[in-house]
Every structure is written in C-alpha cells, then in structure tokens.
Amino acid sequence: MPKQQANWSPYDNNGGTCVAIAGADYCVIAADTRMSTGYSILTRDYSKIIQLADKSVMASSGFQADVRALQKVLAARHLLYQHQHNKQMSCPAMAQLLSNTLYFKRFFPYYSFNVLGGLDSEGKCKGKGCVFTYDAVGSYERVGYSAQGSGATLITPFLDNQLKSPSPLLLPAKDAVTPLSEIEAIDLVKTCFASATERDIYTGDKVEMLVLNASGIRQEFMELRKD
Amino acid sequence: MMKIDFSGLDPSLPVKGNAEDLDDEILAAPSFKLPVTVDFDGFQKAAVQMVKPAKGTTTLAFIFKHGVMVAADSRASMGGYICKALLILNLYKINLYLAASQSVKKIIEINPYMLGTMAGGAADCQFWHRNLGIKCRLHELANKRRISVAGASKLLANILYSYRGMGLSVGTMIAGYDESGAGLYYVDSEGGRLKGTRFSVGSGSPYAYGVLDSGYSFDLSVEDAAELARRAIYHATFRDGASGGVASVYHVGPGGWKKLSGDDVGEMHYSYYPIEPTTVEQEMADVRIA
C-alpha cells in the first residue's frame, strides 16, 4: 500500500491583520474584523483583540481557534496572578508570559501571530507605550510599532517609512517610541488599514482600534471596504 | 529478569509530584505536549515550515588577554508559508523571505557575568537561555557560589541533547568569566559542546572568520579587540544577506560583562569607506566656475 499523505490538517488560516503603535504616553492596537477561510468570508464582525489586563491588550491573527485557546490560557493565568499577588500584571510581565505560553507548545505550535500592546508601569518608563511583537513559537522583542497577519507585508514598509525609530540596540541608546501624538497615530493606523484593504483580500470590513492611555481605554471603529 | 529503572535520571520526563508545587515546575525540565500523530517528523517539518523560526545571523566570540569579546548582528529573517500547505485542495503557497526584524537582541544576558549568543531559531535560543539563567541562579543559591562557565554550558548542552532530533535549532556560544578565568563554549542543538578560544556561528560566520582570524592576537587591547569584533561583524553583514542591522559588541571581564558599542552597519560602511568625489564631478565643477 503506497504511503498516504495526511489529508487533514489541524490548522487553518483565518486571515486578518493586526497593528500596534507605541507612543510616549499612549498605545494604539488595531485589527480588522474579517474572518475568512480559503476564499470565503465566515463573518465580517469578529474581534481579534482582547484586553488581558488593565494595561495590556493583545491582538492576534492566524488561526482563530488557536487564538481563542491562547486567550483563554492567558486570561486564566492572569486571574491566578491577581489572586497570588493582589495586583494586575504589568505589560512586560504579560509579554514574557505570552512568550513562555507560546513556547510550551513548541512541538505543536499555536498558529497565532500576536502583537501585545500596553502601557509600561515600572520605574522611569511609567506610562510609556510599549508594543511587543512575536513569532508563532514565542520569540519576542519590544518595539515601537508592529504589524502581523496577512496584511503585515503591506503595512510594515509603510510604518518603517513613517515611524522608523532608532534601533534599541544602538549605544548610546535612543528612545524607540514614536514622537507622534495620539490623534496622528490613530490617523496613521486608519491609513494603514485602508491601504492594506485595497490589496489584501483577507483584510477589510471594519477596523477595531483600542487606545490605551493614562485616562483609561477607549474603542473606535472605522468602516473598510467590504469586497 | 528485573530491569533497572532509569526513569529518575531521564531529564525529559516530568518530575512526579504535586502539580501545584511551583518548585517542581521550575526544577524539572519543561514538559512539552506532543502532537498525537503517526508521522512526528513530517509534522515537525511542516510545523517548522509554517512557523519558520527566525534565523540567519552572524555572531562571534573570542578569548583574549583581558577576557572575552562577544559580538553579533541584529537581523532576523523569516521564510515561511502564509497559507497552510497540508491541505489537498487549493495549495496556495507563498514563500516569503523578508527581514522580520532589524533589532533582535542576539546577545542574551544570562546573568551579570555570563553572556549567551543566539543563532538559529530565535524562540528556541531565547527560551533556553532564559531557562539556563534560572538554573544558574538556583545553582548559586544552592551552592553559595557562582556557577562556572563549563558548568553552565554543560547544563544547556545536556538539555539540548535530550531534545535532539525533535527539530530545535540552537547554535549558541556561552561566554563568561569565572574562577578559572575567561571561558568560552560553543553549544548546539545537535548536542555538541566545544571549548575554544575563537568561534563564529551563523550564516555570516565564514565572512566573520576571515576577518577575525587574520586580525586576532591574544595580546590585543580591549579597544583593538572591540574594533576587530565590530569589523568582523560589519564584513559579514556586508556579504551575507541574512545578517544586518546593528552590530553589538560586549566585553566580559573579571567584573562582569559590559556593552561597549552598538552601531548601525549601514553607517559603519560609510565611516570605513567614505565616498570620494569622482574626478568627473570635479571637472564639471571646474567648468561651471570657468
């Protein structure tokens, strides 16, 4: 009997794009709301963003079943942390938790491409925006902005052009957060999605934006092309 | 015939104990859920293709009179399939080779007197170096003295050996300063561990070796050694497409490690090879004045 190839895959790609930008005292996290499979659209109204803690928000594209499982694991771990330490997890701590959670499935990965955004709450960085970007198995780094998902290749060069910040590895160190104001950053994000929608079939319908700053968190929607 | 039970020695088996006991969780080798599949290797190959860990790099380290010099670039490239390739119908594969990041930290600070370099899978290197840092700290607390570089590299090598064949990709150098002086070990995911005085790892390593080997001398001063390391990384990034970004140089001495420099390799090019105005332009300028 000839060797049979696997004809069922545990993975699927539901498409979508996520973007996050860190500012001096704010953080913008955005994701489109289209969920697709193959050439079909499953729904136009699906949120890829979740608020994990007071000051941490995660947006993920890829396989939404894995994303949902990952969100549940992180939410449960955060609850445990709150019970044990009587405080909310900081964004950098959540970032490392996400990295470890992803790596513990190193041999059966979460097909989830994440960006974590929030406000730093330690020491002299208190209140500064922070964005962490991940690959699917948990390698991560703190950056000033990031895009993940099907539209990432379209958006990243544009953000590089508009926001290119000095590398955090340079010595003497230069600040990585963007000098843009909150309004300008939100405008930039809207532009990114509008352009990505034009060229990427998996991005469109609506973009959901969450903005974290000192006064709290607010949500905004913008309509995108539905074709 | 009674068989001797070696399960207690097996580092990859989870330590039996209370699940809530955090100590057990930290001390035991992390236990990973494995996919239930007939073809583990095929699944791993496909999974690695899908997640394509960030790779491509140049790192180097060498021992000299004043300790160890460690340097690395900062580019991470990622090739991968966008849409899943295991489906029978509709195989719509896009192979992507883009620079996933220009600012990946490839020199990992295990503790204040030991550094690890990253080459291969970024997640693998980050996770296991962090795990090594935890183990080194526990050793310090248990034995009231710092762990030696030989000991730390052995801990890492043993762990990687136990995951041999499962698709981890780690090519790392452990550099540190302990009671017996400067120490440098190369450890990889095949389970190899080598002690040495000069190493370079990654896709750009042949180029870095060329510059490093020709300029090396044990009696270099700290500044000269740093410049040699920086230059070697620059030349590797020039010729190797998978290396680039920022060249970081660290020095590990008796007092611990210190970051000496972080320079953008694009700018380094113009400082080493400044543009001279060409003779044609010079003539045109002269004509205009006349």
Percent of chain A exceeding pLDDT 70 equals 95
Q: Which residue of B34, B76, B245 is in closest CB contact with A107?
A: B34
Residue A141: closest C-alpha in chain B:
B104
At residue B92, the pLDDT reads 29
CA distance A79 to B2: 48
Residue B289 scores a pLDDT above 70: no
CA distance A214 to A129: 10
| Interface contact flag, A135 B259, Cβ < 8 Å | no
B57-68 mean pLDDT: 94
Residue B26 scores a pLDDT above 70: no
What's the gap in Å between the CA of A11 and the closest CA on chain B?
7
B247 contacts: CB under 8 Å, gap ≥ 6: B71, B72, B73, B74, B230, B233, B234, B237, B261, B262, B263, B264, B265, B268
Q: A7, A17, A107, A131: best mutation site toward chain B, by most B Cβ within 10 Å?
A: A107
Say whether residue A108 is in contact with chain B using an 8 A CB cutoff.
yes
Average pLDDT, chain A: 92
At residue B81, the pLDDT reads 26
| Interface contact flag, B53 A38, Cβ < 8 Å | no
At residue B200, the pLDDT reads 95
What's the gap in Å between the CA of B170 and the closest CA on chain A?
13
Condensed to tens digits (0 to 9), the pLDDT of residues B214-227 reads 999 999 999 999 99
At residue A88, the pLDDT reads 95
Q: B38, B97, B127: best mutation site toward chain A, by most A Cβ within 10 Å?
A: B127
Question: Residue B145 corresponds to which amino acid?
Answer: R
At residue B88, the pLDDT reads 21
Condensed to tens digits (0 to 9), the pLDDT of residues A157-208 reads 999 999 877 777 788 777 666 788 999 999 999 999 999 999 999 999 999 9
Condensed to tens digits (0 to 9), the pLDDT of residues A37-67 reads 999 999 999 999 999 999 999 999 999 999 9
Residue A147: closest C-alpha in chain B:
B100
Q: Lowest-pLDDT range, B62-66, B249-253, B274-278?
A: B274-278
Strand blocks (E) in chain A: 17-22, 26-32, 35-37, 40-43, 49-53, 56-62, 112-119, 129-134, 140-143, 145-149, 206-213, 216-223
At residue B87, the pLDDT reads 26
Residue B5 scores a pLDDT above 70: no
* Residue B178 CA to its chain's centroid (Å): 21
Provide φ and ψ at B276, rounded to 5°.
-95, 140
Longest dimension (CA), chain A: 67
Q: Which of B58, B81, B49, B121 is nearest to B247 (CA)?
A: B58
**Which residues does chain A have within 8 Å of residue B117's beta carbon, measured at their own beta carbons?**
none
| Interface contact flag, B53 A107, Cβ < 8 Å | no
**Catalytic site residue B57?**
yes
A20-28 mean pLDDT: 94
Say whether residue A13 is in contact with chain B using an 8 A CB cutoff.
yes
At residue A14, the pLDDT reads 96
B242-270 mean pLDDT: 92
| Interface contact flag, A139 B54, Cβ < 8 Å | yes
- Give the pair of three-digit tokens for residue B47: 């999974």
At residue B93, the pLDDT reads 31
With cut-offs at 50, 70 and 90, classify the pLDDT of residue B84.
very low
With cut-offs at 50, 70 and 90, classify the pLDDT of residue B10.
low
A145-161 mean pLDDT: 94
**Which residues does chain A have within 8 Å of residue B261's beta carbon, measured at their own beta carbons?**
171
**Which residues does chain A have within 8 Å of residue B83's beta carbon, measured at their own beta carbons?**
13
For residues B4 and A97, the model is more confident at: A97
B285 SS3 class: helix
Residue B55: closest C-alpha in chain A:
A139
Q: B26, B44, B50, B250: best mutation site toward chain A, by most A Cβ within 10 Å?
A: B50
- Is 0.85 exceeded by the ipTM? yes
| Interface contact flag, B86 A138, Cβ < 8 Å | no
Q: Which of A10-14, A79-83, B111-115 has maximum average pLDDT?
A: A79-83
Please count the residue pairs, one from chain A and one from chain B, whose beta carbons lie less than 8 angstroms apart.
Answer: 115
Q: Which of A153, A156, A154 is nearest to A143 (CA)?
A: A156
Condensed to tens digits (0 to 9), the pLDDT of residues B161-182 reads 999 988 898 999 999 999 999 9
Average pLDDT, chain B: 81
The single residue of B57, B59, B117, B172 carrying the catalytic annotation is B57
Say whether residue A136 is in contact with chain B using an 8 A CB cutoff.
yes
With cut-offs at 50, 70 and 90, classify the pLDDT of residue B75.
confident
Output the CA–CA distances (angstroms, integers) from residue B275 to B167, B233, B278, in the order listed.
46, 21, 9
At residue B24, the pLDDT reads 54
With cut-offs at 50, 70 and 90, classify the pLDDT of residue B96.
very low
Contact B198, B213 (CB under 8 A): yes
pTM here is: 0.83
